[in-house]
Amino acid sequence: MREFACVLQYPREEFIKNGFPHRGLWNAEFFKREAPIVVELGCGKGEYTVGLAKSDSERNYIGVDIKGARMWRGAKTVEEEAISNAAFLRAEIENIDKFFVPGEVEELWITFPDPQMQKTRKRLTSTRFLNLYRCLLRDNGIVNLKTDSPFLYEYTRRLIELNGFEVLMNTDDLYGSGNADPVSSIKTFYEQQWLSRGKKIKLLSFRLPAEGELKEPESEDIPRDDYHAMARFNA
């Protein structure tokens, strides 16, 4: 990973001690061009980040994950194919605000995260994380959730409705609805696993305003996924 020019690795102790040199300067110092920045959180093997970058050369894409062994595959593809508008940041999502300044990011993708059915504060679409995303997104920046989890889809749908966010896309069956486009149809390793098991893919896209108190929806009555834990660890 250290040999890849497209990869930046910043353990917590390092950026706390020295800060992150490209914070607020991603376009000027790293990509060397001005373009909207899109970030994928929990990018895993990096398939979505790579696919996004190849589909749209007018934007700069950054995949974020803490597990370098997974991210290596995407980084190697970027290096081999000389994809100039894609990068990978090895860091914890809980610290994502330390790597960007407010307004530096236009759009977020959250692809197939753990639904965290027992721990609200760990869900990547919870109010805790949405407040964190406000520290890097522009006002009314876009948040996209792509998931196989009926629980996480319903939780996030309720959160969007409760807070009155502008909805750009809402489907509980992406490929069956006819709403899939080349971007939303990019398939990750996990997505291929879920599709092979007959699971429907859900997509929620909404705008996140920079101001206003965020409210958590009731989620205790949402049915829990009965397949998710075993399938994910076996995938």
Positions marked catalytic: 114
Of 65, 69, 83, nearest in space to 8 by CA? 65
Query: Look-up: residue for tokens 């196989």?
Result: 148
Task: Count the neighbouring beta carbons within 10 Å of the beta carbon of residue 214.
Answer: 16
State the distance between the two ends of the chain, measured CA to CA, in whole angstroms. Answer: 23
Which string of DSSP letters, residue by residue, matches 94-156?
Answer: GGGGGSS-TT-EEEEEEES----TT-GGGSTTSHHHHHHHTTTEEEEEEEEEEES-HHHHHHH
What is the chain's Cα-based Rg? 17
Of 75, 78, 135, 65, nearest in space to 104 by CA? 135
